[in-house]
């Protein structure tokens, strides 16, 4: 199993990433932790068009309440579950029937969205500003990360990195797209490249290229998307 990258691997990856100079990551939702949570958890293992539908549906639901979804925090998101009677109805009216994994009996992503929002409020993170503030303290960030990764099917940390990116903290989402690119660039078996390895080497490549890791992540992701 690959544990840590070496300088030769980093140089190879930097050369392969040269084509992504000038890439610019989308703005995300810098004022809406609710949308960050929804997008990050809905995004795993699906085409992004389905994620967009859920984000838009949530926005439509909130606008019917004369509310602004682009400024909703975790508490406002939790309130929509309470209003609708829980994840099952939320999935029907706002979300979809996508599940957190392919395992038999896996809960809906809607349940993970609700639980992630509650987990963040339990550690006093209810807004994107508070999530960004947590990143300035290693101990605070570790506490928030533990809460997030304790939610069903979020243990890998992929959505944890992504929710921070959507909130405005530069980073890398080490999902299957990024892992495939790293593995293929370095001629490694895909099964040997862990999310942590992919995260670390792409961040190192971004630093070497004087790029934001979020911008490099986006360039790689779009490239892999076109190849599918």
In which residue are the tokens 């809906």 written? 108
* CB neighbour list of residue 99: distance below 8 Å, 6 or more residues apart: 106, 107, 108, 109
Percent of the chain exceeding pLDDT 90 equals 96
In which residue are the tokens 């029907």 written? 92
Angle of helix 138-149 relative to helix 109-122, nearest 10 degrees, comes to 150
pLDDT single digits (tens) 178-204: 999 999 999 999 999 999 999 999 999
In which residue are the tokens 């999902």 written? 175
For residue 6 the two structure tokens come to: 């070496």
Task: Say if CB 136 and CB 120 are below 8 A apart.
Answer: no
Phi, psi of 99, deg, nearest 5: -105, 165
pLDDT at 2 (0 to 100):
64
pTM for the predicted model, two decimal places: 0.95
For residue 170 the two structure tokens come to: 């530069």
pLDDT at 227 (0 to 100):
86
pLDDT single digits (tens) 114-168: 999 999 999 999 999 999 999 999 999 999 999 999 999 999 999 999 999 999 9
How crowded is residue 171: how many other Cβ atoms within 10 Å of its Cβ?
A: 23
The rounded mean pLDDT for the chain is: 96
* Gap between the Cα atoms of 149 and 147, Å rounded: 6
How crowded is residue 3: how many other Cβ atoms within 10 Å of its Cβ?
A: 8
């Amino acid at each position: 199993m690959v544990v840590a990258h070496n300088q030769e691997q980093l140089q190879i990856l930097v050369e392969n990433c040269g084509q992504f100079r000038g890439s610019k990551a989308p703005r995300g939702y810098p004022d809406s932790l609710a949308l960050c949570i929804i997008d990050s958890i809905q995004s795993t293992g699906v085409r992004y068009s389905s994620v967009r539908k859920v984000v838009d549906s949530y926005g439509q639901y909130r606008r019917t309440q004369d509310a602004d979804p682009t400024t909703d925090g975790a508490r406002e998101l939790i309130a929509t579950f309470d209003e609708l009677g829980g994840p099952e109805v939320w999935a029907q009216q706002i979300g979809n029937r996508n599940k957190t994994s392919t395992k038999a009996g896996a809960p809906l992503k809607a349940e993970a969205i609700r639980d992630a929002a509650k987990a963040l409020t339990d550690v006093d993170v209810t807004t994107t500003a508070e999530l960004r503030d947590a990143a300035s303290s290693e101990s605070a960030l570790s506490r928030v990360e533990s809460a997030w990764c304790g939610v069903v099917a979020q243990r890998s940390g992929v959505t944890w990195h992504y929710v921070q990116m959507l909130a405005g903290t530069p980073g890398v989402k080490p999902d299957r797209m990024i892992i495939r690119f790293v593995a293929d660039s370095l001629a490694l078996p895909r099964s040997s490249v862990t999310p942590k390895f992919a995260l670390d080497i792409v961040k190192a490549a971004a630093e070497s290229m004087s790029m934001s890791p979020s911008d490099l992540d986006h360039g790689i992701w779009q490239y892999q998307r076109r190849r599918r």
